[in-house]
Amino acid sequence: MSNYYIGVDLGGTKILTAISNDKGEILKKIKLPTEAEKGKDHIIDNIVKSIENVMKSVDADSEKIIRIGLGSPGPLNLEEGIIYTSPNLYWENVPVVKILEERIGIEVSLENDANAAALGEKWFGAGKGINNMIYMTVSTGIGGGIIIDNKILHGVNYGAGEIGHFIIEKDGPLCGCGNNGCFEAVASGTALNRKGKYLASMNPESLLYKLVDGDFNKIDGKVIAKAAEMGDKLALGIWADEAINLGIGIANLLNIFNTEMVVLGGGVMNAWELFYDEMMKTIKEYAFESVYNSVEIRRSVLGSDVGVIGAIAVAMEDRLLK
Q: Which residues sit at the interface with Zn ion, rule CB under 5 A? A: 165, 175, 177, 179, 182
User: Cβ 179 to Zn ion, closest distance in Å?
Assistant: 5
- What does the alpha-carbon distance between residue 169 and residue 124 come to, in Å, rounded to a whole number? 35
User: Cβ 240 to Zn ion, closest distance in Å?
Assistant: 23
User: Cβ 82 to Zn ion, closest distance in Å?
Assistant: 24
**43 or 185, CB closer to Zn ion?**
185
- What does the alpha-carbon distance between residue 9 and residue 17 come to, in Å, rounded to a whole number? 6
User: Cβ 185 to Zn ion, closest distance in Å?
Assistant: 6
User: Cβ 222 to Zn ion, closest distance in Å?
Assistant: 25
**177 or 256, CB closer to Zn ion?**
177
**139 or 179, CB closer to Zn ion?**
179
The set of long-range contacts for 13-17, using a CB threshold of 8 Å and a minimum separation of 24, is: 13/88, 15/43, 15/46, 15/47, 15/50, 16/305, 16/307, 16/308, 17/47, 17/50, 17/51, 17/53, 17/54, 17/308
User: Cβ 182 to Zn ion, closest distance in Å?
Assistant: 3
**162 or 317, CB closer to Zn ion?**
162
Q: Where are the alpha helices (DSSP H) in the chain?
A: 40-57, 96-104, 113-124, 183-187, 189-202, 207-211, 221-229, 233-257, 272-286, 289-293, 306-320
How many C-beta atoms surround the C-beta of residue 195 within 10 A?
A: 19
CB 5 within 8 A of CB 316: yes
**182 or 312, CB closer to Zn ion?**
182
In sequence order, what are the residues at sequence separation of 6 or more whose Cβ sits closer than 8 angstroms to the Cβ of residue 38? none
**34 or 112, CB closer to Zn ion?**
112
